[in-house]
Amino acid sequence: MADYVIGDVQGCYDALMALRKKINFNIDRDRLYFLGDLVNRGGQSLAVLRWVYARQANCQSVLGNHDLSLLYRYHLPKKRSKNAEFKAIFEAPDHTLLMNWLLHCPLIIDLPNALLSHAGLYPFWDFDTFKQRAAWAAQKLHRKPIKYLRNMYGDYPEAWQDDLNKVEQWRFIINSLTRMRFLDTAGGLNFTEKMATTKKPGLKPWFEYLPENHINKPLYFGHWSTLGLYQKGLVNGLDSGCVWGGALTAVRLDDQQVIQVS
């Protein structure tokens, strides 16, 4: 039995199948944990969703920003665009099952030997606060998807404040869990810098703000394709840009072995 964490698939079904073969995935003994962004841009999003959904007893994923974009357009039909991959999902006979399953995917997965989040762990919250707020945001999304998805998009608030209304607090939690890359010294989220480094003063990658001993087990995130495979201490970034011609990356949790397919 082996557990694997897999970076952003983004609709790259052929790459996922090649990775499945390379790790010799056995549905009777192995488990796969995805870091979100199962869909969009790769051309085979429906196939990816169907494959993971059909193996949900052994496959679990956190929500990424592209997954939330799909849910946004599903629950708010007037916001649908010409995205061919999303259109194929909406027209599929099993779309209701797929969308309901995706809606109920968690925002974080807390395993005994790993913590999984699409964009990372907001470093200005202690670990318990982080888990509580992630669970609260997921509950709001599950219970009232139209209300919260309608108010999801926006870069405000940049930083957490206790006097924000519920929708603003929810948006900040979603942004920190699914869009975060760089932060300023006050904990403000920056959404304009998307490369691996920045020359903009006062900004650092979120993980450089993590206090020492803030986490006691490996943390895995995706989302940051320009950063590529990143491993330093307990922090592991696994979005190696498969959809842009890079690799699809998996890590076997019991021994931290990295497995990639291009």
Query: Nearest 10 degrees: CA dihedral of 206, 212, 214, 218?
Result: 80
3-state secondary structure 61-85: ECCCHHHHHHHHHHHCHHHCCCCHH
Distance (Å, rounded) from C-alpha 124 to C-alpha 191? 17
Q: How high is the pLDDT of residue 244?
A: 95
pLDDT: which is higher, 212 or 133: 133
In 3-state terms, what secondary structure has residue 223?
coil
Judge whether residue 40 has pLDDT over 90. yes
Q: How high is the pLDDT of residue 213?
A: 82
- The partner residues of 116 in beta bridges, in order of sequence, read 109, 220
- Domain residue limits, the chain: 3-261
Hey, what are 156's tokens?
A: 């405000």
**Considering the chain, what percentage of its residues have pLDDT values greater than 90?**
96
Instruction: Summarize pLDDT for 86-145 with one digit per residue, the tens.
Output: 999 999 999 999 999 999 999 999 999 999 999 999 999 999 999 999 999 999 999 999
Q: How high is the pLDDT of residue 123?
A: 96
Cβ atoms of 137 and 145 within 8 Å: the answer is: no
Instruction: Summarize pLDDT for 226-259 with one digit per residue, the tens.
Output: 999 999 999 999 999 999 999 999 999 999 999 9
Instruction: Summarize pLDDT for 54-66 with one digit per residue, the tens.
Output: 999 999 999 999 9
Q: How high is the pLDDT of residue 227?
A: 97
- Orientation of helix 65-75 relative to helix 166-178, angle to 10°: 130
Judge whether residue 172 has pLDDT over 90. yes
Hey, what are 148's tokens?
A: 């919260």
pTM over 0.75: yes
Judge whether residue 214 has pLDDT over 90. no
In CATH, what number does 3-261 get?
3.60.21.10
Cβ atoms of 46 and 18 within 8 Å: the answer is: no
In Å, what is the CA distance from 205 to each residue of 49, 122, 145, 193, 235?
31, 11, 30, 10, 12
